Amino acid sequence: MATFRHICDSVAVITLSNPPVNALSSALIQALQKALGEAIRDSAVEAIVICGDKGKFCAGADIREFNKPSQKRGPHLLLLTDLIESNKKPVVAAIEGVALGGGLELALGCHYRVAHVQARVGLPEVLLGILPAASGTQRLPRLIGIAAALTLITTGKYVPAREALKLGIVDKVVGENTVDEAIRLAKKVIGQPLGSRQLSTLPVQCPPNVEALLAEAMVKVKKQFRGAQSPQACIEAVRAAVHLPYTEGIKKEQELYQFLNATHEPRAQQYAFFAEREVAKWTLPSGASWKTVSPQPIHTAAVIGLGTMGSGIVISLAKAQIPVIALEKDKKQLNIGSKAVISLLDRETLKMKQLGHTEATNSLGPVRFTLDYGELRDVDIVIEAVFENMILKKEIFRHLSGICKPEAFLCTNTSGLDIDEIASVTDRPQMIVGTHFYAPAHIMKLLEVVHGRYTSSISISTAMQLAKNLGKIGVLVGNCPLFVGNRLMVLYLQQAIFLVEEGNKLEEIDQTLENFGLAMGPFQMMDLAGLDTLWGCHVEHGLARPEQSSGISTHHHSSKRYSQLLGILCEKSRFGQKSGQGWYKYEKPGGRKAMSDPWLHNFLSEYHGVNNFKTQKITQEKIIEWCLYVIINEGFKVLEDGMASGPEDIDVIYNSGYGWPKHTGGPMYYASLVGLPVVLTKLEKYYEANPDIPGLKPSSLLKNLAALGNPPLKEWRALLGSWSSKL
C-alpha cells in the first residue's frame, strides 16, 4: 500500500492506493499527508491532482479500522482536507469509480473536482451509524445548499456523476481519461485566485424557511429510520453549518460523531455491512465455495408465470441486461401479465433516464412473451414463479425436463415448498435450485437461494452469482419448511395474533414494533402480504387448523395453541390491502393507507367474549420481547438444524428482506446486544407461563451459548464446534 507522486510538467499526481477500494486506512492517510507535504514544498510543483489507483478514487475511511482506539488511528482526515484547501497551489480531484464518505470529503477539500461519467459520489456514513466526520457536514451545504446536502447526508444516497454535476458537487464530467482531464484543468488554473474554491470560507446559502426545512427533514428521518440516532445527528450537524462559522460547525460535527460512536449503533451497522459481504461468499460443508466452483454463465433466461412475483423477476433480469422469455399458461393471463411487465419496464426506463442514462431503452435486456414452452428449449436458466401449489409446480418441472437443454438450470420461486419433491420429478435433480425472491422482486434486495438435497455446488454457485448480477444479496439456506426468513416470520406473526386474542390493541402492537425500528408492524405486514395467503401458509405448516366455525375459535390442538383469527377474517372476505379491509381498513381495494377499523374492534371484543380468552394487557417492553424473542429463538433452532451457515446469514435475511432495523444489526446481533442470558431467562419465563406455544421453548443452542456468558457473535461458531451447517 502506498501513496506515490510523480510530476507531469508542473503538476504532481498523487495516487491513492489501497486495494480493493482505496479506503483511507491510517497508513494511507499518513502516506497522503507525506506526499502532499512534499508536493506543497516542492517549488517545481505548481498544481496537484489527487486520483485513485485502478479506476477507483476512494470509498472513504477504512471501516475495518473503526474498532481501533482513535489515538491509534493516526492523522485525521479532517486536518488533511484543511491542509489541501488552504495551500496556495490548486488541487484537483480526479474521481473515477467512487468518491464516498471520507473519499468525497477529501475531494471537497480539493479546489476542483473532475468526475468520470460512471463515477458515483455520496456520503453514506449515516448507513454505518455515524456521520461524515471529516468536514462533510460543513463543506457540502456550503457547496450545494442546505436542501440537497440534507438529502445526501441523511439518506447516504450514491449520486451518479451527471447528477453530481447538476447539483454542483463536481465541476466537470468526462467520458474517458479523467486523470488527464484533471491535469489539464490543474494546469489551466495555476496562478488563479482560489478564494471562491475554498468551501470552508464560503457562506451557506440559506433559504428563508431553513428552520422549516430542517424540521421537515427531522420528521422524515424519524419516520424512515425509526429508533436510529445517526440520521438525527446528521441533521444537527447540518443545522450547525447554518448557524455557526466553519470552525465552530466542525467542533459540533466532531461532538456529534463522538456521541454516536459511544452508542451501539455504529458497531451494529458496521457488522451488518460486513455480514452482507460475508454471506455472499458462500461455502458448503463439502468445502465447495465461491473460490473453487465457477458459476455457469447465464446469457438467457425464462420466467414462467407473470403474476406479481413473476413480473418483478422479469424486470430484475431485464435490468441486469439478460434477455428474458416470459411465459404464461393462456392468452388471457399472458395479456394481463405482459401489460404488467411492460408498464414496469416503462417505469424502470423512466427512472434510468432521470438518473442520466441517455440510452436507457437499450440498457434493459429484451423481453419476449410467449405461450409456447418450446421457446424455452435453449435458455440457460428457467425461473418458475407460478402460485404456491406443489402439484402444479411438479407438473411444470416434469414438462421442463423434457424441453430444456440438459445444461439449463431450473429454479423455483417458492416461499417454502419442498425443493427435493420438485427435483424428484425432473431429469436433473442436481440442477434444481430454490430461488425465493421477495416482493416486489425488482426492488427487494434479498434472494434466498435454497439448497436442496440433490443440488450441485455448480448450481449453487450459478444461483449466487445470478443474485449478484441482479444487484441482490443472495443468502444460501437449507430446504426446511418455509426456509429461513418465513420460518421465523410465521411464528412472530402468530405471537402478535395471540396478543390480540388476549385483548391487546393491534394498532398499539404495530406502533410499538415500528418504534423499535421495524419498517412495518406485524398487522400492517399481514395486510400487505394478504391474509388468505398467510392463512393458507399457517394451515399448511401446522400453525392453524383448516376447519373454522364463524366466530368460535378452536384454540388448542394436540396441546398446542392455535389462532383461527386469520381464517375467520378471510371468511368475511377481509384479505388485507387487496380487498380494502383486513386487520385495518383502506380507502379502496389495493389502497395503502391503513386506518383503524371500528368494525374490527367490535368484532374482536365479541370474539374475545365468546371464546373466553384471558385478558393480558402487556407493556411495550413485553410486546417487543414476546414478538421478537421468538424470531431470535427460532433463529437459533435454524442454526441448530444446520439450515443456515451462520448467524450473519439470518441477520442479512432480516435486514434486507423483512425491514429489520439495521442499527440493531439483525435479530441475532440484537440478541447479543441484549445479552444471551437475558434473552434465555425471558424465554424460559414466557414458556413456563405458556407451555402451549412451542416457539417460546428455548433452543438448546441458545442455552449452550448463554451458559458461556454472552460471547460475541463472531465467536459463536468456534465455541460450538459440534454445530455445523447441513447445507
Half-sphere exposure of 75 (CA within 13 A, CB side): 15
Q: Which is nearer to ligand T1G, 100 or 643 (CB)?
A: 100
Count helices and strands in the chain by DSSP H and E runs: 28, 19
Number of neighbours of residue 561 by Cβ within 10 angstroms: 17
Work out the burial of residue 424: count CB atoms within 10 Å of its CB; fewer than 13 is exposed, 13-18 middle, 19 or more buried.
Answer: middle
Q: Does 29 bind ligand T1G (CB under 6 A)?
A: no
Kindly identify the residues of this chain, within the stretch 259-278, that bind ligand T1G according to CB under 6 A. 277
Q: How far is the CB of 133 from ligand T1G (least distance, A)?
A: 4
d(CA 381, CA 470): 14
Under a CB-based contact definition with an 8 Å cutoff, are residues 691 and 702 in contact?
no
Mask 48-77, x = binds ligand T1G (CB under 6 A)?
-----------xxxxxx------------x
Residues 6+ apart with CB under 8 A from 516: 226, 227, 624, 628, 661
Q: Does 105 bind ligand T1G (CB under 6 A)?
A: yes
d(CA 650, CA 492): 15
Grid cell 373454522 — which residue? Answer: 548
Q: Which of 106, 130, 509, 534 is the binder for ligand T1G (CB under 6 A)?
A: 130
Q: Which is nearer to ligand T1G, 277 or 617 (CB)?
A: 277
Number of neighbours of residue 558 by Cβ within 10 angstroms: 7
d(CA 185, CA 245): 30
Q: Which stretch binds ligand T1G (CB under 6 A): 120-128, 300-308, 645-653, 713-721?
A: 120-128
**Cell numbers placing 451:** 439448497
265-280 helix and 667-674 helix, angle to the nearest 10 degrees = 140
488: nearest Cα among 472, 475, 505: 475
Q: Which is nearer to ligand T1G, 25 or 577 (CB)?
A: 25
DSSP code string of 99-148: EETHHHHHHHHSSEEEEETT-EEE-GGGGGTS--TTTHHHHHHHHH-HHH
- 542 three-state secondary structure: coil
Q: Nearest residue to ligand T1G, using CB?
A: 101
Q: Does 100 bind ligand T1G (CB under 6 A)?
A: yes
Q: Which stretch binds ligand T1G (CB under 6 A): 132-140, 239-247, 339-347, 524-532?
A: 132-140
Return the amino acid letter for 579: S
Q: Which stretch binds ligand T1G (CB under 6 A): 17-25, 319-327, 524-532, 630-638?
A: 17-25
Q: Which is nearer to ligand T1G, 225 or 575 (CB)?
A: 225
Q: Does 125 bind ligand T1G (CB under 6 A)?
A: yes
Grid cell 431467562 — which residue? Answer: 681
Q: How far is the CB of 443 from ligand T1G (least distance, A)?
A: 18
Q: Does 108 bind ligand T1G (CB under 6 A)?
A: no
Q: Which stretch binds ligand T1G (CB under 6 A): 133-141, 207-215, 368-376, 683-691?
A: 133-141
d(CA 88, CA 195): 10
Q: Which is nearer to ligand T1G, 134 or 488 (CB)?
A: 134
Q: Does 651 bind ligand T1G (CB under 6 A)?
A: no
Q: How far is the CB of 25 from ligand T1G (least distance, A)?
A: 8
Q: Which stretch binds ligand T1G (CB under 6 A): 125-133, 169-177, 530-538, 642-650?
A: 125-133
Task: Write out the catalytic residue numbers.
Answer: 105, 125
Q: Does 129 bind ligand T1G (CB under 6 A)?
A: no
Q: Does 107 bind ligand T1G (CB under 6 A)?
A: no
Q: Which is nearer to ligand T1G, 29 or 565 (CB)?
A: 29
d(CA 101, CA 119): 14
Q: Which is nearer to ligand T1G, 469 or 533 (CB)?
A: 469
Mask 135-174, x = binds ligand T1G (CB under 6 A)?
-x--------------------------------------
Q: Which is nearer to ligand T1G, 270 or 563 (CB)?
A: 270
Q: Which of 132, 429, 567, 661 is the binder for ligand T1G (CB under 6 A)?
A: 132
Kindly identify the residues of this chain, within the stretch 463-522, that bind ligand T1G according to CB under 6 A. none
d(CA 39, CA 44): 9
Q: Which of 20, 69, 195, 374 is the binder for ligand T1G (CB under 6 A)?
A: 20
Strand ranges for 205-352 from DSSP E:
301-304, 324-327
Q: Which of 31, 91, 110, 128 is the binder for ligand T1G (CB under 6 A)?
A: 128
Under a CB-based contact definition with an 8 Å cutoff, are residues 102 and 77 in contact?
yes
Q: Which is nearer to ligand T1G, 98 or 179 (CB)?
A: 98
Kindly identify the residues of this chain, within the stretch 80-99, that bind ligand T1G according to CB under 6 A. 98
Under a CB-based contact definition with an 8 Å cutoff, are residues 337 and 306 in contact?
yes
Half-sphere exposure of 480 (CA within 13 A, CB side): 22
Report the C-alpha dihedral over residues 404, 409, 414, 419, rounded to 10 degrees: 100
Q: Which of 52, 124, 160, 485 is the binder for ligand T1G (CB under 6 A)?
A: 124
Tell me the number of residues near ligand T1G by CB under 6 A: 24
Q: Which of 12, 22, 99, 101 is the binder for ligand T1G (CB under 6 A)?
A: 101
Q: Does 251 bind ligand T1G (CB under 6 A)?
A: no
d(CA 32, CA 12): 13
Q: Does 134 bind ligand T1G (CB under 6 A)?
A: yes
Half-sphere exposure of 72 (CA within 13 A, CB side): 5
Half-sphere exposure of 562 (CA within 13 A, CB side): 23
Q: Which is nearer to ligand T1G, 472 or 637 (CB)?
A: 472
Long-range contacts formed by 328-336: CB under 8 A, 24+ apart: 328/304, 328/369, 328/371, 329/305, 329/371, 330/371, 331/371, 333/306, 334/306, 334/369, 334/370, 334/371, 336/306
Q: How far is the CB of 15 from ligand T1G (least distance, A)?
A: 17
d(CA 266, CA 68): 13
228: nearest Cα among 674, 593, 668, 659: 659
Q: Which is nearer to ligand T1G, 260 or 490 (CB)?
A: 260
Q: How far is the CB of 517 from ligand T1G (least distance, A)?
A: 20
Q: Does 133 bind ligand T1G (CB under 6 A)?
A: yes
Q: How far is the CB of 245 from ligand T1G (least distance, A)?
A: 21
Under a CB-based contact definition with an 8 Å cutoff, are residues 101 and 61 in contact?
yes
Q: Which of 11, 12, 16, 21 is the binder for ligand T1G (CB under 6 A)?
A: 21
Which residues make up the interface to ligand T1G (CB under 6 A)? 20-21, 23, 59-64, 77, 98, 100-102, 105, 124-125, 128, 130, 132-134, 136, 277
